[in-house]
Amino acid sequence: YVVVSTSPGCAAAKNATTTVPILCISVQEDPVAVGLATTLAQGKGNLVGVHSFLPDGVTQQLAMLKTLKPGLHTLGVLFNPRNDTHVRVLSEWQSAVAKEGLAIVPLAASASTDLDEALSRAKASKVQLAIGLLGADTYAMRKEIAEIATSRDLPIVMDTPGGYTQLGGVATIGVDIVPLYRKSAVEQMVPMLKGIPPSQIAWIGPTKVTMNVNNEVAKRFGLQQIR
């Protein structure tokens, strides 16, 4: 079998073979909506996997951001304009924030060299708090994001785990996919290695968003400390 990552990677593998078992990981889209599954209760043909999609994920995240920053009125969203998933999720944030009567400022950054300009725009727009969208691109910049957030005195929460708070980041608010990978190893990978077809194995996905706060950093930014 083969293991592939991201929605586009899984789609490419699906189009490449109908016989080799495929285990997809890090699927950020709704697997049913993008054609990777007919139902999450079982794989589709030779493909099954792990996804991080939650229908109300952005709503949950926004509620947690408002807990972290009471009186929040202007939110920044750090995203990669070259990432199709980021563009889609940004539109979800725009809709969710508008329903709450808040202002939103998109902060485009495709590489770490774009961060300074993005933070300058955030400060000029009076952004109080920003969230960086989940993805390998923003994940690779997490140390730089934590550092520029501190130097520019603008708290940036990340929509990803992966040690961001240990690197000096203020918080992560999103789906913790690592436990889902562990579950996948037991409930998907092992059965597939034993010859069970993906069509007889269920997709694995999250049930909620989680928040992890570096209270020392939150205190420096004047944010709520979460116990």
Residue 90: burial class (beta carbons within 10 Å; 0-12, 13-18, 19+): buried
The pTM score is 0.88
Decide: helix, strand or coil at residue 187.
helix
Question: In angstroms, how far is the first alpha carbon of the chain from the final one?
Answer: 43
pLDDT tens for the chain, residues 1 to 227: 899 988 888 999 999 999 999 999 989 889 999 999 999 999 999 999 999 999 999 999 999 999 999 999 999 999 999 988 899 899 999 999 999 999 999 999 999 999 999 999 999 999 999 999 987 788 889 999 999 999 999 999 998 777 899 999 999 999 988 899 999 999 999 999 999 999 999 999 999 999 999 999 999 999 998 87
Decide: helix, strand or coil at residue 100.
coil
